[in-house]
Chains A and B, each alone.
Chain A
Amino acid sequence: MTAAAEVKSRFVGRRRARRRSARSLRAWYRNPSLMAGIVVVGALVLVAVLAPVLAPYDPIKQNLPDALQDPSSAHWLGTDRYGRDVLSRLIWGARVDLRIGFLAVLIPFVIGSVIGALAGYFGGWFDAVVMRVVDVFFAFPFLVMVITLVFVLGAGETSIYLAIAIVSWVAYAKIVRGEVLVVKEHDYVTGARLGGLSDRRILFRHITPNVLSQAVIYAMSDIVMDILAIVTLGYLGIGVTPPTAEWGSMILDGQEFLTTHWLQATIPGLVVVVTSLGVSWLGDGLADLMSPEQRR
């Protein structure tokens, strides 16, 4: 139970608290954005997990005699220049792009939130330094920084995680710091302090649970940004190493055949759009659920 709910149940009475939680549960499935997001993202995750079963062909094995075929009953979306089945590569690509997209937010989320919480709670020189560092990082365009860092760290998945972590922790730090600044003036924090609780306990048991919702909501849009960055790296040929099936590198391969086989570059992009939409819906739904007072 969160600190706010603890206080509430003590003062408002347990039965009302129970009714409140039942009401928020009902809101859970009445929330169209959330449902749409769960359906779309759930379906994509399912496709990614079941890739070995669902994909009709090997996504990597070349079959040159069948190169650049139009969609047919054997290859629903045609084949690429090496004769690889486009549908199979899309399905396997979901594994790579979704995995990196979702995992990449974890490290910056944790690091940024902790640094932001400490800066907001203790203030002083630490806060001043953190905020200056945040300003510096915001001077670099996200993509430019990620591209440079992936180059410096060497191609491959680990570099992508590291590069995204180095760049995007600042946003979480800024968001959580701002929230902590507001919440630490609340009465229940003053109460906890008067009660003699340690700073660590107040910060991590009482304040942090109440400020993380904004960071979680931001994380959903961050996932979209990360997926777009990974796809862009793949398109630039500096991301996940070929011949691994990845949506961005599929668009790059397809661009050469734009005049004759326009589907090759179009379809992977559409899949990215659908993925982003699903995650955005999920994020909007979570935002409604977690902070109903901010609803449009």
Chain B
Amino acid sequence: MLHRLIFVPARLVQAVPVVLGVTLIVFFMSHLLPGDPALAILGDKATPESVSALRDQLGLDQPIWQQYVHFLSNIVHGDLGTSFTYQRPVTDVVLQAVPVTLTLVALALLLNIVISVPLAGLAAMKPNRTPDLIVRALNMVGQGMPQFWVGIMLILLFGVRLRWFPVGGYGDTPLQHLYYLLLPALTLAIALSPTTIRSLRSSTITVLGSDYVATARSKGLSGLPLFRRHVLRNSGIPTVSIVGVHLANLVGGSIVIEKVFAIPGLGSVMLDAIYARDFPSIQAVTLVVALLVTVASILTDVLYVVMDPRVSLGTGVRV
């Protein structure tokens, strides 16, 4: 299995221009701010001294390509500026928030599987019959729901009415973290599930019609064992790449959901920064989120190759 991962270095090289492009876009964002970037970044707290200090730090008097090189070298050295809201280096603030958001996203992916696999299986067993039609209708409704509103509705039901879950916050111990993250993760999973279910349903229908499933059936396999051992393994493969494509939206959704549930992750950092007009933090979160998405898409490709032995690696190496 491991020798199949020979393509990983090539995939990493492919990611280099993407990462450079991401830094370029984040860099140019500060130039979209109206007026002098230094003044816009400092906002209300600007004094003539602090403005000229920041102009020096950003190198605003240099030609634009030098400013970009400067920006890049700062990133490489882990220096993303100082956050005004937190009075700390932005890098510290962001790195503290990353694990929280990652846990939330991971839990959401897990719940997405729990929701999607049975529903997609149910729908695929008898296409165009009642269960299938219900699942497809749910999908359509699910896709049109604002994520933050789903979160609020879950708070209303499970937090306010039933009192099973806290209405927000993050708790103190790791176990409490998981408990506090369950509702927000469920919100994200509900948003992701329509895409997952649609992909899984159609690939399951294809797999169910294949010869090897007929063979497995003729051996006497049926029901759950058949589904788990022969169907899901194969129908899950295309779904992995679909979910991979939507990982960016999952991360984007978590930014908003963290605000709904008051979770101290990247989203809270970003939105607090927006309300405080703290530009370095906004820039840093945007950059980190894009880098996380790039890494996630590489991991998806790796997972895809690990799961599906038939994938051609495109490296010219026969495996």
B93 at the interface (CB under 8 A from A): no
B146 at the interface (CB under 8 A from A): yes
Selecting from A78-86, A144-152, A179-187, the interface stretch reads: A144-152
| A236 x B25 contact (CB < 8 A) | no
Q: How far is the CA of A133 from the CA of B21 in the complex (A)?
A: 7
Smallest Cβ distance from A233 to chain B, in angstroms?
Answer: 10
- In the complex formed, the residue of A with least CB distance to B260 is A255
| B18 x A280 contact (CB < 8 A) | no
Q: How far is the CA of A137 from the CA of B291 in the complex (A)?
A: 12
Indicate whether A265 sits within 8 Å of B149 (C-beta atoms), given known contacts A145-B286, A148-B286: yes
| B21 x A269 contact (CB < 8 A) | no
Interface string of A202-242 (1 = CB under 8 A from B): 00000000000000000000001000100110011110000
**Which residues of the other chain, A, contact B282 by a CB distance below 8 angstroms?**
148, 151
Interface string of A154-194 (1 = CB under 8 A from B): 10000000000000000000000000000000000000000
**Which residues of the other chain, A, contact B253 by a CB distance below 8 angstroms?**
141, 143
| A276 x B145 contact (CB < 8 A) | yes
Selecting from B28-36, B73-81, B177-185, B208-216, the interface stretch reads: B28-36
Of A141, A255, A258, A275, the residue contacting B255 (CB under 8 A) is A141
| A258 x B156 contact (CB < 8 A) | yes
Q: How far is the CA of A141 from the CA of B247 in the complex (A)?
A: 8
| B256 x A136 contact (CB < 8 A) | no
Smallest Cβ distance from B298 to chain A, in angstroms?
Answer: 11
Chain A residues with CB under 8 Å of chain B are: 132-133, 135-145, 147-149, 151-154, 224, 228, 231-232, 235-238, 248, 251, 255, 258-259, 262, 265-266, 268-269, 272-273, 275-277, 279-280
Interface string of B215-229 (1 = CB under 8 A from A): 000000000000000
B299 at the interface (CB under 8 A from A): no
Q: How far is the CA of A262 from the CA of B149 in the complex (A)?
A: 12
Indicate whether A140 sits within 8 Å of B148 (C-beta atoms), given known contacts A135-B21, A259-B160, A262-B156: no
Indicate whether A147 sits within 8 Å of B255 (C-beta atoms), given known contacts A232-B146, A272-B146, A280-B144: yes
**Which residues of the other chain, A, contact B17 by a CB distance below 8 angstroms?**
132, 135-136
**Which residues of the other chain, A, contact B145 by a CB distance below 8 angstroms?**
269, 272-273, 276
Q: How far is the CA of A148 from the CA of B297 in the complex (A)?
A: 22
Smallest Cβ distance from A125 to chain B, in angstroms?
Answer: 14
| A269 x B153 contact (CB < 8 A) | yes
Q: How far is the CA of A95 from the CA of B29 in the complex (A)?
A: 31
| B32 x A142 contact (CB < 8 A) | no
Q: How far is the CA of A110 from the CA of B282 in the complex (A)?
A: 30
Supplied contacts A140-B286, A258-B152, 10 more A-B pairs, CB within 8 Å: A135-B17, A140-B25, A140-B248, A144-B252, A148-B29, A231-B149, A237-B275, A273-B144, A276-B144, A280-B140
Chain A interface secondary structure, helix, strand, loop or mixed?
helix
| B155 x A141 contact (CB < 8 A) | no
A-B contact pairs, 13 of them (CB 8 A): A135-B18, A140-B22, A140-B25, A143-B255, A144-B252, A144-B270, A148-B282, A149-B32, A228-B146, A248-B146, A269-B149, A273-B144, A277-B144
Interface residues on chain B, number (Cβ under 8 Å): 46
Q: How far is the CA of A108 from the CA of B113 in the complex (A)?
A: 34
Q: How far is the CA of A153 from the CA of B145 in the complex (A)?
A: 27
B residues 74-127 near A (Cβ < 8 Å) are none
Chain B interface secondary structure, helix, strand, loop or mixed?
helix
Q: How far is the CA of A176 from the CA of B92 in the complex (A)?
A: 42
Indicate whether A277 sits within 8 Å of B289 (C-beta atoms), given known contacts A132-B21, A141-B249, A147-B274: no
| B149 x A272 contact (CB < 8 A) | yes
B38 at the interface (CB under 8 A from A): no
B271 at the interface (CB under 8 A from A): yes
B residues 258-277 near A (Cβ < 8 Å) are 259-260, 270-271, 274-275
| B274 x A143 contact (CB < 8 A) | no
**Which residues of the other chain, A, contact B22 by a CB distance below 8 angstroms?**
136, 139-140
Q: How far is the CA of A249 from the CA of B155 in the complex (A)?
A: 18
Of A136, A237, A266, A277, the residue contacting B141 (CB under 8 A) is A277
B187 at the interface (CB under 8 A from A): no
Indicate whether A142 sits within 8 Å of B152 (C-beta atoms), given known contacts A135-B18, A147-B255, A236-B271: no
Smallest Cβ distance from A218 to chain B, in angstroms?
Answer: 14
Complex A-B, nearest 3 residue pairs according to Cβ-Cβ distance, in ascending order? A276-B144, A141-B252, A136-B21
B251 at the interface (CB under 8 A from A): yes
| A265 x B152 contact (CB < 8 A) | yes
Smallest Cβ distance from B26 to chain A, in angstroms?
Answer: 9
- In the complex formed, the residue of B with least CB distance to A132 is B17
Interface string of B119-147 (1 = CB under 8 A from A): 00000000000000000000011011111
**Which residues of the other chain, B, contact A280 by a CB distance below 8 angstroms?**
140, 143-144
Smallest Cβ distance from B218 to chain A, in angstroms?
Answer: 29
B290 at the interface (CB under 8 A from A): yes
B293 at the interface (CB under 8 A from A): yes
Of A142, A236, A268, the residue contacting B249 (CB under 8 A) is A142
**Which residues of the other chain, B, contact A136 by a CB distance below 8 angstroms?**
17-18, 21-22, 24-25
**Which residues of the other chain, B, contact A232 by a CB distance below 8 angstroms?**
146-148, 256
Indicate whether A152 sits within 8 Å of B29 (C-beta atoms), given known contacts A140-B286, A144-B270, A238-B274: yes
| B155 x A258 contact (CB < 8 A) | yes
Of B141, B275, B285, B297, the residue contacting A273 (CB under 8 A) is B141
- In the complex formed, the residue of B with least CB distance to A254 is B152
Q: How far is the CA of A142 from the CA of B256 in the complex (A)?
A: 12
**Which residues of the other chain, A, contact B249 by a CB distance below 8 angstroms?**
141-143
Of B29, B156, B259, B290, the residue contacting A139 (CB under 8 A) is B290
- In the complex formed, the residue of B with least CB distance to A278 is B144
Indicate whether A143 sits within 8 Å of B32 (C-beta atoms), given known contacts A251-B149, A259-B160: no
